[in-house]
Chains A and B, each alone.
Chain A
Amino acid sequence: MEELRKYAKELLEKGEVAAVIGYQQVNERRTKPIIVTDPADATKLVFNEYCLNNLSVYFTRARIRSLMRTKDKPTKLAITAKPCDVHSIIALIQENQIQRNDVHIISFYCHGVVRDFGCEFSGDYLASKCITCETHKPLYYDKIFGEDKVTPQASDKSLAKIKELEKMSSKERFDYFKSEFDKCIKCYACRAVCPLCYCQRCITDKTIPRWIESSSHGRGNFAWNIVRAFHLSGRCTGCGECDRACPMDIPLSLINRRMAMEVKDLFSFVSGRSLETPTLVGSFDKKDNDEIFM
């Protein structure tokens, strides 16, 4: 921890970065995001199993981006990122939302995080994405801390649920999602926490014409959640922030994970894994199977 703080402080003091987007401790089992611009505040930075937020979401926020242009020359933004958060950063770079040169990635060897704040760190309360994680070491980084440790064992309940849903008839599956979407209150926390949901004006906020009903009734909720699923297909990196943020406990990542499985099967593509390859949509080929189009 001291190494991280010292490193962040030096980056800020030398003017190499305009800010460090990091985590600070709230209580024993909770952290929260902090935007450090004053080197003296670098002492607040932490990294542990309670660093749940995917901080790459801040790269597309106007207020944070404006920090990059506060000095004479544009300066970088540093970010403390889990290896899975680095996937989102890669996706954002691929989609031209931020340049690789503008980001200073401070990452860690990761052995998993908890499902939600307040949980103890064990197999029972491990975040779903950590169960099948193969990226304990980040794919890209400018600085890495920590050491490789073993992730607690846990059963993949999310995959079991997907298999269960696949076996259902389409009517049963529809009814399952209807009962889940009925809970939706359209607070759009899922959209707000998603690093890849960066549209300046979301289609749900467009009113002339109104494509998606703003009412949180069955039709409006289906419309929103289906649009969300489509817009994130081949783009979602599986960070699971939407699941965590949903106040109504709707299992949103089931949809995203299922779509990611589909994309992997059809195109052998996994979002946010390589800076050398184009995005899925960006790699359209005339030879692609027609069936993939709606």
Chain B
Amino acid sequence: MEEKIITKEDLLKLCDDIIAKGHTLLAPGIAEYVPVTNASQIQLDSSALPTKASYKSYVFPKAEPILYYKRSKNDVQLIDADVDGKKIIVLGAKPCDTNSINIMRHLFNWDYEDKFFDLRQKHFIIIGLMCNSFDDYCFCTSVGSSPVSEEGSDLFLIPLDEETFALRIVTEKGDEFIQQYSGFLKEGDETRSFAVIEKVKHPEKAFDSKQVHEWLGNNFESPKWDGIGNVCLSCAQCAFVCPVCHCFDIVDEDYSYSEGRRMKNWDGCQFGHFTLHASGHNPRDIQSKRYRQRVNHKFRYYVDKFGQILCTGCGRCSRGCPVSIDIKEIVANCKD
């Protein structure tokens, strides 16, 4: 790991250059990460809470065409959909967001290589920013991360004072990117950034993910699940704001009888019709079964399959839940 120093002024100049080159620069806004058109709009605030939604939609769009079709009398012609391979730079990504693409990559390259996801993530550069605040809903430390985790970042910023950042070069991709701006960088001093990191307060660990994994394996039919979903209203807010939830639905949209396209759209496991079979049977017919699925998928199935927890501990799902269901509380209760 190499460490440099960059002033805020130079960092904003760097941003202006990124915009001038026609790349997409994303930075945390109020509700979501938003494309920045002028570096002066950027607030690099390490004490801001996570945005309501993550930047997932830029690598896994909420609705995207995956192929087009044309129908004639005796033939169907399939036309590939193009992937927008535009370079996207995320500036000031929270440590609870930076690893999201790495976590989802397992799924999108498991039994089928999703070229849409792969091409987009290849063009992503993630500049993480140390996090210096947490609220009742944050639990990154319970899922193996932390407010100072560099995991998933290509470059990582640590605020040294109001005007200066330490810039850690984490990956080769990050190194290659920052080399073009070497004029902005000064030699870093790790003792300064370590002193900052040491003072960062971490949210208290709410549960032990290994114990949760084990409990889930033995307690599929536990009475604890009963009534857990009674207050849940079955929307997909939790899944859609989640940085790593990745369920999708494939639907065909006809423009006319002869033309149409096939779409890949976000879907959510808390919707009642998510598992509704054509026969009318629904294996997850009640909300408690659907919530059990959500917890199991995140803390057991994904771990078994890919060795990774499907959760970054950002707390968005709980913070934004219309009926204030707190996943941290429910998972912490997954014990005897």
Contacts and interface: CB of A to CB of B under 8 A. Distances in A.
Interface of A: 26-27, 30-35, 53, 57-58, 61, 63-64, 117, 183, 185-189, 191-193, 205, 210, 213-217, 220, 241, 244-245, 247-249
23 contacts: A32-B323, A33-B231, A33-B324, A53-B322, A58-B231, A64-B230, A185-B266, A187-B235, A187-B236, A187-B237, A187-B241, A192-B234, A192-B235, A192-B322, A210-B251, A214-B251, A215-B263, A215-B265, A241-B322, A245-B235, A247-B53, A247-B237, A248-B53
A26 B274 CA distance: 30
Counting from the closest, the 5 A-B pairs by CB-CB distance are A32-B324, A192-B235, A215-B63, A192-B233, A245-B322
A31 B324 contact: yes
B320 interface: yes
B52 to A, nearest CB: 5
B62 A216 contact: yes
A218 to B, nearest CB: 10
B268 A187 contact: yes
Given A215-B251, A244-B322, A189 B237 contact: yes
Nearest to A242: B322
B120 to A, nearest CB: 17
Nearest to B271: A188
B240 A187 contact: yes
A93 to B, nearest CB: 21
Q: Which of A34, A53, A187 has the most CB of B within 10 A?
A: A187
Contact of A247 (B52, B57, B324): B52
Interface of A is mostly: mixed
B31 A247 contact: yes
B249 A214 contact: yes
B30 A249 contact: yes
Interface residues of B, number: 38
Interface in B55-77: 57, 62-63
Q: Which of A210, A215, A247 has the most CB of B within 10 A?
A: A247
Given A35-B231, A187-B237, A216-B266, 6 more contacts: A26-B324, A33-B231, A185-B240, A192-B234, A247-B237, A248-B32
B176 interface: no
B236 A188 contact: yes
Nearest to A248: B31
Nearest to B326: A26
A58 B234 CA distance: 12
A32 B232 CA distance: 11
Contacts of A247: 31, 52-53, 237, 240-241, 320
Contacts of B63: 215-217, 220
Given A185-B62, A193-B322, A217-B63, A249 B31 contact: yes
B251 A32 contact: no
A186 B52 CA distance: 15
Interface string B102-132: 0000000000000000000000000000000
